[in-house]
Every structure is written in C-alpha cells, then in structure tokens.
Chain A
Amino acid sequence: MIEARDLTKRYGDKLAVDHLSFTVEPGRVTGFLGPNGAGKSTTMRLILGLDRPQAGSATINGKRYVDLKQPLRTVGALLEAKAMHTGRSAYNHLLFLAQTQGLPRSRVDDVLAMVGLQEVAHKRTGGFSLGMSQRVGIAVAMLGDPEIFVLDEPVNGLDPEGILWIRNLMKALAAEGRTVFVSSHLMNEMAVTADHLIVIGRGKLIAESSTQEFIERSSEKSVLVRSPDAARLADLIAAEGGKATAEEAANGRAETLSVRGLDAPRIGEIAAAQQIVLHELTPQLASLEEAYMELTADSVEYVVPGPHGRAEAGAAAAEPTGITAPGRTE
C-alpha cells in the first residue's frame, strides 16, 4: 500500500505537487492520470525518495522508502526507460542492481526471459529502441519480485503487442494481490487497464474513484433515436420530462433525435404507446477521453491556442478517438 499525505513539492517558484493526498491499495491497478506537467512523475519520485518534499509524506506499507531494508524487494519502479548507461549491457545493468539486494545471478536471467530480451541481454543498451529499453525497465521493476509496482508511463514507445503485454502483466500482478500504481496521460489506456483512478492536474487532486464510477459520473448519458415521425416523438418526449434535440440527418431530413433525461426503454415505451415507428434506439456515452479532457481542462500546463481560442487539447478531444468507452459496447 502506498500512502501520500499532504505531499508538497516546489521547484523554484513552481509548485509541482500541491498538498496531494491519496492511497494506493493492493490487489488492483491504480491509474495515475493527468495532463503533461501535472506532477505525476514528481509525485512518483517523491514516493520513491528520489526527491524530498517540502511538506507532507509518502509511505510504503507505513515506511518511508528510505527506510526500506531491501527496497527493490518491496517496490519495483520504472521511471525513465532510457535511464541506463548506453555502454553497459542490459545484463550488467540488471546484475549490479541485483547485487545491491543480494539477489542471485539466476534472477537476472529470469527477468530477462520474462521480458523477452535474452538474446540481446549482452548487447550494449545504447542501440536499444525505446520499446526495448522499456522492457529492460520492466525487468528492473520485476527484479526483486516486489509486492508494489510504481510505473511511470510504461506503455510509452511500445508497439501494440507490447502494450497488450504490459496491460496483462499489470492485471496479473494486481490479481495476485500486489499493488500496481501506474501513471499515464492517456485516459483511454487507463480505462482498459486500471480498476481505480487518481486524477491530478497542476499538482492537485482532481478526482479519485473507481474507473467504473469515474466513467459513469463523467459521461453524460444520452439516447440516439431515429424515427420517420421524429417531430411528434420530440413533443411526446418533452411532455414526459425529457429533452430531445433534433440532429441534422445526412439527407437533410430531421429524423434523428438526441434525447437526454429519459433512458432508452422509456423512450421505446412512449413510442410504442403512440405507435410511432423507430428505426434506431441507441444509448450513448460520451467518450471517456472527452470527459477526462473536460475534467482537466483548467489544469493543462502547456496549452496551444486552437483556431477558436480554445486549447488545442480540447479541440482534439472532439475528434473520434477510435477507442470506445466500455459503456458503449454493451
């Protein structure tokens, strides 16, 4: 279990982490979300004792990281993937770390096999791709077979297969009762990986809840209705307390409605009662990415003015993301 209490870190006059408190529980994957520059990496560095907070504390199973006897056996961390000596082999990088913990050489071979790097283990890491470096980083995190994992953007630079591998690995580790704390700036990635979410912006806690709760709370529900008798249906829906907005159809005929305030079964019943033909009746969920963008819109650190003066990040969210929120597939 990881606990942050009132964690505060200031670099010069910039407040990177602002009185942040949260708990990361074992047995589940906890996603740590926030836009670039939100303070995710800094928070992780504070937890791992690399940086010292100005105020507050971070503990691992009740102890400060500094006080852990064999830290790599308790916490496995992946920070920057490329943090290796380019002239040293992956094997030797893992070996010296294993030696600091009194781990046998065989463990180095084990973790190299686990991440699929046996064949390049003795090559210098300078020639490694970002994806390969990321795998070395995962191997380092796994080295001490720890019960707690702290992973900073582990899917960065990985191909789709690698992303799936990490995702499954994190889920399997959590299923064994381990604590998995993983940061990302991609909501969609977290939606399919994390059980629990901690969202921060500008160093402050924005939201903390289960992923399901987050999706339900953040997504505005609506129902898409297509009917040749759309105008009459809209009046009936309004009479029942719903709000129907006509949407421009492709052929110019306003036969598509977006309904809020009533759920799909109720709309179906209304239509049936009045014998109105329905061509489509689909519950809609706003994309998770949109909900996340909205949530963090005020705390985006670096904004590019868009064509309408809005942040480019917000404009991008309106684009189809290609990944469907879990609710939509039901």
Chain B
Amino acid sequence: MTSASPVAPGRAGGPAVPSASRNVGFGHLLLAEWTKIRSVRSTIWSLILLVVVTLGFTGLFTWLTVLQWSKSDPTQRAQIVADPVSTILGSGLFLGQLTICVLGVLVIASEYSTGVIRASLLAVPRRIPMLIAKAVVFAALVLVVGECVTFASFFIGQPILHSHAPVSLGDPGVSRAVWGAGLFLAVLGLFAMSIGAIIRHTAGAITGVIAFVLVLAPLTQLIPGKIGKYVHGYLPTEAGHLIGQAHQQANQVLSPWAGFGVFCLWTAVLFGIAIWLLVRRDA
C-alpha cells in the first residue's frame, strides 16, 4: 500500500485519457456486460452444473427407463415410444434448468446485493440500455451453452433408449425439439433475470423462481376440468417446455411453437415490468 505516490507527477488525474472513442455505442455496453458475466465464478459454476446435472440425469433416467421397461405401465411406454425425444430432453433438463433459474437471478440481483448496481448506473445513467445489454449477453451465453447441452443430452439418451424407442434427428419434429430446448433455456434465463430485477433480493428471487418452475406450475395440473387444463397450459414454463416435444400431445392445449410463444410473451411482459421499475425506482 505504501507504493502509492501521493500525487502522480504532472497531472493529478494521471496521464491524459485518449479521447479517440468519443462515440460510445451499444457495443461497448455489450462488452462491459460480457466482462461482468465472465468475471464472477457463479457464472462458471452454474454453467458447469448445468452441463453435469443435465447430462448426468439424462443418462441416469433414460437408463432407468430402459432397465424397468418390462415392469413399467403400458400407457407410459406408449408415450415414450410416441415421443422419445421428449423423454430424453425432459429427464435431464427438468433439473438442469434450475441452474439457469439461479444464474438468471444472480446476474442482476447480485448487483443489488453487492452495490455494483450503483457503479453500473453511474456509468449508464439512462439505465435501460444497461439492462438490455445484460439481457442480450446473458441470453446469448445461455443459448450457446444450452444448445450444446441439449444436443449432447440427445446423443447420450438416444443410444440408451434405442432398443425400445428408436429416434433420430431426422424424424419429424425431433431436431426442432432439440434446438428448441436450448432456446427454452435462453428464454428461461431471461425469465429468471427479469424476476431478479423486479425483486432485487437474491435469495427471495431464487426461491420464487424455483418454487414457481418446480412446484407451483406443475401443481396446477391438479386443477380439475377444462379450466385446469388451460391454466396449466398457459403458464410460462409449462407452455415453454412444449418446444422440447416432437409433437403436440392429445391433452395439451398448445402446440410446441405456440407454447414457446406464450412463454416468450410472459418473459417479455416481466422484462417490461423490470425495465419500468428500473427506471422508476431509486437505485
């Protein structure tokens, strides 16, 4: 600490700052958000966990399915044979998606818990470009990692399941389902980030998102009758999951793309609220 000279020789502000890049554009903000995301370990750990959990459970669940094939319920078997890709992707991603929920909340809520948000907003006082840049960078990162994970997941599950429920990328709807599952993760990241930006408390937002995705949304299946079917069908993550299926099942109210669209709409609304609150609230 003693190495600090009291005042730098010459100008107190140090060497003059080059003023070459007078035009600061959105690209600079993307770069800054990329620096933020890559420079904390929670990002690395969450993404490693996404890969390990998803691929691990894909292997485990598909293997267990095959192992208990003869003992399992015939309607369940018929379901798997009708849409093997949904079984493969669903088994690992159901748990793997939680890491994206956590990371999505963290990328924004940790700024509030650490106070970095003040530095961020002093640098980008208009605020909205900062959140949009963060959303773009984070979604792009999750998309890339997510696509790798979903394809890897497919290629792990496919050979395991092959003897009982053969499936290939060329089958109708299958490659869309695999691509789509990666897309789903990216939008899920934005969904969680928006909630993180609205709630601003890391623990609260993580609990909220996970409780919703893992417990509340699936529970609405228990609501009886047509109303229950629609309520459940239009809930954000339940609708979003449909993109990971090869085709619409009889008891579902939305097609894969329509479901994904509904999920995107939910996310857009939440993101809109997050932006509105970001501008309105004191930081």
Whether chains A and B associate is: yes
Binding site for B on A (CB under 8 A): 45, 48-52, 65-66, 68-73, 75, 77, 79-80, 82-89, 92-93, 95-97, 99-104, 107, 110-111, 113-116, 118-119, 131-132, 135, 140, 142, 144-146, 159, 161-162, 164-165, 168-169, 172-173, 175-176, 178
Q: Is the CB of B114 within 8 A of A85?
A: yes
**A145→B110 CA distance, assembly (Å):** 28
Q: Is the CB of B4 within 8 A of A115?
A: yes
Residues of B contacting A45 in the complex (Cβ-Cβ under 8 angstroms): 282
Residues of B contacting A77 in the complex (Cβ-Cβ under 8 angstroms): 122
Residues of B contacting A161 in the complex (Cβ-Cβ under 8 angstroms): 1-2
Q: Is the CB of B41 within 8 A of A100?
A: no
Residues of A contacting B32 in the complex (Cβ-Cβ under 8 angstroms): 96-97, 99-100
Residues of B contacting A132 in the complex (Cβ-Cβ under 8 angstroms): 1
**A72→B256 CA distance, assembly (Å):** 47
**A66→B121 CA distance, assembly (Å):** 9
**A50→B123 CA distance, assembly (Å):** 11
Binding site for A on B (CB under 8 A): 1-8, 11-18, 21-24, 28-29, 31-33, 35-36, 39-42, 110-111, 114-116, 118-126, 282-283
**A172→B6 CA distance, assembly (Å):** 10
Closest 9 CB pairs of A and B: A116-B4, A83-B115, A172-B12, A102-B21, A92-B39, A99-B32, A96-B35, A100-B123, A51-B282
Given A92-B35, A96-B39, A100-B24, also A144-B119 (CB < 8 A) = no
**A159→B39 CA distance, assembly (Å):** 30
**A93→B111 CA distance, assembly (Å):** 12
Given A82-B115, A107-B17, A164-B6, also A176-B11 (CB < 8 A) = yes
Q: Is the CB of A97 within 8 A of B119?
A: yes
Most chain B beta carbons < 10 A, residue from A79, A114, A140, A146: A114
Residues of B contacting A169 in the complex (Cβ-Cβ under 8 angstroms): 6-7, 12
User: What is the distance, in angstroms, from A126's C-beta to the closest C-beta of chain B?
Assistant: 10
Interface contacts beyond A51-B282, A72-B123, A164-B6: sample of 11 additional A-B pairs, CB < 8 Å, sorted by A: A50-B121, A66-B126, A83-B114, A92-B35, A96-B33, A100-B123, A101-B123, A103-B21, A116-B5, A145-B14, A176-B11
Given A84-B115, A131-B1, also A69-B24 (CB < 8 A) = yes
Given A84-B115, A85-B110, A102-B21, also A173-B1 (CB < 8 A) = no
Residues of A contacting B6 in the complex (Cβ-Cβ under 8 angstroms): 164-165, 168-169
Given A80-B115, A87-B40, A101-B28, also A116-B12 (CB < 8 A) = no
Given A83-B114, A96-B35, A116-B1, also A101-B24 (CB < 8 A) = yes
**A107→B32 CA distance, assembly (Å):** 15
Residues of B contacting A95 in the complex (Cβ-Cβ under 8 angstroms): 35, 39
Residues of A contacting B12 in the complex (Cβ-Cβ under 8 angstroms): 169, 172-173, 175-176
**A236→B82 CA distance, assembly (Å):** 116
Q: Name the residue of chain B whose CB is nearest to the CB of A175.
A: B12
User: What is the distance, in angstroms, from A54's C-beta to the closest C-beta of chain B?
Assistant: 11
A-B contact pairs, 29 of them (CB 8 A): A51-B283, A65-B125, A68-B125, A69-B24, A77-B122, A80-B118, A83-B115, A83-B119, A85-B111, A92-B39, A96-B33, A97-B119, A99-B32, A100-B28, A100-B29, A102-B28, A103-B21, A116-B4, A116-B5, A118-B3, A119-B3, A135-B1, A144-B17, A145-B14, A146-B13, A161-B2, A162-B1, A169-B6, A176-B13
Q: Name the residue of chain A whose CB is nearest to the CB of B133.
A: A100
Q: Is the CB of A102 within 8 A of B24?
A: yes
Q: Is the CB of A114 within 8 A of B18?
A: no
**A114→B18 CA distance, assembly (Å):** 17
Residues of B contacting A99 in the complex (Cβ-Cβ under 8 angstroms): 28-29, 31-32, 35
**A177→B283 CA distance, assembly (Å):** 31
User: What is the distance, in angstroms, from A115's C-beta to the closest C-beta of chain B?
Assistant: 6
**A55→B68 CA distance, assembly (Å):** 70
Residues of B contacting A175 in the complex (Cβ-Cβ under 8 angstroms): 12
Residues of A contacting B21 in the complex (Cβ-Cβ under 8 angstroms): 102-104
User: What is the distance, in angstroms, from B279's C-beta to the closest C-beta of chain A?
Assistant: 10
**A185→B283 CA distance, assembly (Å):** 24
Q: Name the residue of chain B whose CB is nearest to the CB of A72.
A: B123
Q: Is the CB of A97 within 8 A of B14?
A: no
User: What is the distance, in angstroms, from A263's C-beta to the closest C-beta of chain B?
Assistant: 38
Please tell me which one of the listed residues A88, A146, A176 contacts residue B39 in the complex, with CB atoms under 8 A apart. A88
